[in-house]
Amino acid sequence: MSALYHTNYLEWLDSQIDHLKKNDFHKLDLKNLIEEMEDMGGFKSSIESYLLVALTHKLKMKYAFDDQCKRIWQVSIDNAKDPIICILEDHPSLKIYPSLIFEKTYKRARRNAAKQTGYNIDIFPEECPWTIDQILGE
């Protein structure tokens, strides 16, 4: 069972779900299942944190008028999105997670951008001007 975990993650995950539904607990790949469950919380927290940084700096880059900082903000955006992409590649079951927290995280990023720049929050749009794919794909 653990070989499947390393060769076909989605098939492994489906088999674990099937075993749980059928109460076939003796067939579970407990070592890898426990590891996956322990990692989920930490990875979700990391994704949210990195996404917050990327969105905050994206807002400052687009709406704040400090050309000297734009290059630094772009580097920060890249440094925030790269770990998100790596986590999602290593843990495909989390691929939907950034979309689930995107709106909530954008609201926090908007407040952060206003605080960090000293600008009125109304300068930054209430609705995020980008999609999650635009943030992670740029």
pLDDT in tens, 43-78: 999 999 999 999 999 999 998 877 778 888 989 999
Mean pLDDT of the chain: 91
Cα–Cα distance measured from residue 24 to residue 7, given in angstroms and rounded to the nearest whole number: 22
Residue percentage of the chain with pLDDT more than 90: 70
CB 62 within 8 Å of CB 130? no
Cα–Cα distance measured from residue 110 to residue 105, given in angstroms and rounded to the nearest whole number: 9
Q: What pLDDT is attached to residue 133?
A: 94
Cα–Cα distance measured from residue 58 to residue 43, given in angstroms and rounded to the nearest whole number: 22
Query: What are the boundaries of each domain within the chain?
Result: 41-137
